[in-house]
Chain A
Amino acid sequence: MEIVRREKTGADDFKVRQRRAQQMLRGELEGEDLEQHVRESIVTTTLDKAVGWARGNALFPMTFGLACCAIEMMSIVASRVDVARFGFEAFRASPRQADLLIISGRVSIKMAPVVRRIYDQMLEPKYSIAMGACSSSMGVFNNYAIVPADKFMPVDVHVPGCPPRPEALMHGILRLRSMIQDDPSLGWRERYNAVGTEELVPEAPTDSPDVNVYPPGDTAGA
């Protein structure tokens, strides 16, 4: 087997690069050195890709643990499979501040409207991961009491397992991250051909007292 060794040029050496960056920050690079440094250290890309990269690396998952999978979700925050390496350790409790809903656990019929309401409260762009077998596909319990998450909300990534290992969940989150970085579309309705399925807010009731009518004096008689 032939081993090829490259000569260590000035650009490869870490210490040299560090020194150069230091000089750049201090404003000590001049002329040709400056040109070379800029050529080596700046990355050019499209704005979409840059925004996608930033968006993918700045996910705020929501604290949404339902059952056993929640314990493994807590494990990814813990030190062995550290989700803070990727920047996802800021689990937000409020749906308004979160953009990733990890449905970890079995969704019962009593809980399904609650989950849907929380998902609706999240702001676009939002993503969801169905963690575990129960939320993805009924899992071990195929019975009257559970609903698969796909029935009432869109799911981007399904992570199988009962419960999935923290590494598996991490793999799912990273898969989602690469999906986000590739796909610039914002709303889930664009992603899943569901434009036009918005709920129509019913008309204001016609027999309400005048206090609910603005501008005043225009009674809603019709």
Chain B
Amino acid sequence: MTDVSEYRRQEDALDVNVPRQPVVQGEGVEQELLTINFGPHHPATHGVLRLLVHLEGEVVRDLKPIIGYVHTGIEKTAEDKSYWKVVPIVERMDYLAYYFNAMAYCGAVETLLGVEVPKRAQYLRVMHLELNRIMSHLVWLGTSALDLGAISMFWYCFRERETILDLFEMSSGQRMHTRYIQVGGVIEDIPAGFAERVRAFCEVMPDRIDSYRDLLEKNEIVLQRLRNVGALGQDELLELGVTGPLLRSAGHPWDLRKAMPYSSYDDFDFKIPVGTLGDNYDRFFVRIAEMYESVKIIEQCLDGLPEGPHITEDRKVALPPRWELATSMEALIHHFKLVTEGFRVPPGEAYYPIESPRGELGCFVRSDGSSKPARVHMRDPSFVNLQATAPMVKDLYIADMIATLAALDPILGGIDR
């Protein structure tokens, strides 16, 4: 065929040596930066996170996260429901740390109401919060190790997670999004046999965490991939508003459970694991070390669990117990009022911060005197921590970017709300 087709002529006319977007210039050489879209659907982004990555070869030069792909309008929905109905709505924000969402919200409402939470309820809350912290770190560890290629961690971590979910199911009836923490305390006291099951779990768990740590700690591949990768100093992290294990792995021992204790955390004796370099390796092992401390807290909770009511006795805020409804007219009226309209909160604004597995989770509630909140806002730690991604991955390879994203532990439900 002597006649060359138009298409072939076009192809031959292309000159790949002429860059179309010269961006980097130096010593007479022009290179172009390649913009790649890590779409919202990607197996390695933890959730629907979209990243626009500017690459020079395989080195990341800039990164822009684009979020909003799972924005559910939770805060707007919460304005439409009575205070106790907001608890399940708000729980679905950071969907791995649901007890924490409920705790922050209930803490803010309790501040506005001025009710006091009984000691037993505080201990039960702490126990469930720490169980949730372990569960969140397990899921994080499983999926992050999966990103690195250590697939068997996924199965081990999910096996432990099933045990914890069994405990949640025993105490509240639901595996996830349990709405166990209510305004004034917890919804129900723990059933018989729960304490034994939790104790059995606490006995087994440290050995399991030991084995997970042994799998990863001195593994050559883990060391090569995570050591000295993605390090960011304390000052820069504080400027970016980062809290939680990310800040602690950089060497700053800030933990709200110790610094500004809430819900009887000052009754417990536990340590705060702190890293040194602030690289991905430290981030991994700070979280694993936190799991040990959480087990300790749960054991101390069980040992020191006081007797008492599991929710505040103020009938204007908490439902009366069922047996009282048969005898007391007032209890019946309170029950009716609480279930239909809900309690009214005096006008005010409150911000209640707690330490969630990802950092400072604060809930801002504004009340205007009616039975529905006027504004509920969660200061979600992942939302603020995401801003640290770009400085962390600058000048790293793509594979390191994936590992850093894993170590950052973003939960898109909390980011997008």
Answer yes or no: do A and B interact.
yes
Is the contact region of chain A dominated by helix, strand, or loop, or is it mixed?
loop
Binds A, one of B53-61, B152-160, B215-223, B383-391: B152-160
Give the CA-CA distance A216 to B7 in the complex, in Å: 9
User: What residue of chain B has the Cβ atom nearest to residue A215's Cβ?
Assistant: B6
- Chain A residue at minimum C-beta to C-beta distance from B154: A78
Cβ of B48 under 8 Å from chain A: yes
Contact status B70-A105, CB under 8 Å:
yes
CB of B212 closer than 8 Å to a CB of A = no
Which residues of A54-113 have CB atoms within 8 Å of chain B's CB atoms? 63-68, 70-72, 74-75, 77-80, 93, 105-106, 108, 110-111
Are the C-beta atoms of B70 and A143 separated by less than 8 Å? no
Contact A67 B70, beta carbon cutoff 8 Å: yes
Check: B328 CB closer than 8 A to any chain A CB. no
CB closest residue in chain B, given A81: B162
A144 touches B69 (CB 8 A): no
Kindly provide the distance from the CB of B177 to the nearest chain A CB, expressed in whole angstroms: 7
CB pair A110 B71 closer than 8 Å: yes
Cβ-defined contact, A71 with B176, below 8 A: yes
B337: interface (CB < 8 Å): no
B39 at the interface (CB under 8 A from A): yes
- Chain B residue with the shortest CB-CB distance to A216: B6
Query: Would you call B69 and A114 a contact (CB within 8 A)?
Result: yes
User: In the complex, are the beta carbons of B139 and A71 less than 8 A apart?
Assistant: yes
Q: Which residues of A contact B96 (CB under 8 A)?
A: 71
B95: interface (CB < 8 Å): yes
Q: Does A118 contact B (CB under 8 A)?
A: yes
- A68-B95, A68-B177, A78-B155 known; A93 and B73 CB under 8 Å? no
Q: Is A108 touching B76 in the complex (CB atoms < 8 A)? A: no
Taking a contact as CB atoms under 8 Å apart, the answer to whether A108 and B68 are in contact is yes
Known: A110-B71, A144-B73. A78 touches B48 (CB 8 A): no
The 8 Å CB contact of B47, one of A66, A140, A143, is A66
Q: Contacts A146-B73, A211-B10, A216-B6: A70 and B47 contacting too (C-beta < 8 A)? A: yes
The reply to whether B47 and A65 contact each other, CB–CB distance below 8 Å, is yes
Provide the residues of chain B in CB contact with A163, threshold 8 Å.
175-177
**If the complex has contacts A118-B41, A162-B177, are A110 and B413 also in contact, measured as CB distance less than 8 A?**
no
Besides A75-B161, A77-B158, A78-B162, 17 more A-B contacts (Cβ < 8 Å) are: A66-B48, A67-B47, A67-B70, A68-B176, A68-B413, A72-B175, A72-B176, A74-B143, A78-B154, A78-B158, A108-B416, A140-B77, A140-B89, A143-B77, A165-B175, A211-B6, A216-B6
Closest 8 A/B residue pairs (Cβ): A78-B158, A145-B73, A68-B95, A216-B6, A93-B43, A111-B69, A143-B73, A80-B162
**Measuring CB to CB, which residues of chain B are less than 8 angstroms from any residue of chain A?**
5-7, 10, 39-43, 47-48, 68-74, 76-77, 88-89, 92, 95-96, 139, 143, 154-155, 158-159, 161-162, 175-177, 412-413, 416
23 contacts between A and B (CB under 8 A): A67-B47, A67-B412, A68-B413, A70-B47, A71-B95, A74-B143, A77-B158, A78-B158, A80-B162, A93-B43, A106-B70, A108-B71, A114-B39, A118-B41, A140-B77, A140-B88, A140-B89, A141-B89, A143-B73, A143-B77, A145-B72, A163-B177, A214-B6
